[in-house]
């Protein structure tokens, strides 16, 4: 039995690209998040990143971390 009941049992997937490399879809995602959540867009993206982290989805986590950094700048 796992010591951490929150962690997913799915294997972790490594990212095929570095986290710092921006994707062309990032701008569209940021625009949609800002349209939907307004000034709370960074908080919503951070929440999605945490959810991905706890599910063991490394690729999604890196995406949301990159988006969060862009929203905070």
Residue 26 near residue 70, CB atoms below 8 Å: yes
The domain of 45 spans 38-72
**Average pLDDT, integer, range 50-71:** 96
In a domain, 58, yes or no: yes
In a domain, 64, yes or no: yes
Residue 15 near residue 59, CB atoms below 8 Å: yes
Instruction: Please say whether the dihedral angle defined by the alpha carbons of residues 34, 38, 39 and 44, taken in this order, is positive or negative.
Output: negative
Query: Number of folded domains in the chain?
Result: 1
Distance CA 51, CA 54 (A): 5
In a domain, 5, yes or no: no
Distance CA 6, CA 40 (A): 26
* DSSP characters over 22-33: PPTTHHHHHHHH
In a domain, 46, yes or no: yes
What would the pLDDT profile of 1-40 be if each residue is shown by its tens digit? 445 455 555 555 555 555 455 567 899 999 999 999 999 9
What pTM did the predictor assign? Answer: 0.67
């Amino acid at each position: 039995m796992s010591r951490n009941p929150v962690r997913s049992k799915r294997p972790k997937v490594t990212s095929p690209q570095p986290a710092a490399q921006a994707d062309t879809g990032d701008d569209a995602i940021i625009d949609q998040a800002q349209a939907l959540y307004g000034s709370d867009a960074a908080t919503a993206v951070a929440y999605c990143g945490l959810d991905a982290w706890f599910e063991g989805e490394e690729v999604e986590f890196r995406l949301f971390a990159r988006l969060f950094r862009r929203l905070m700048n």
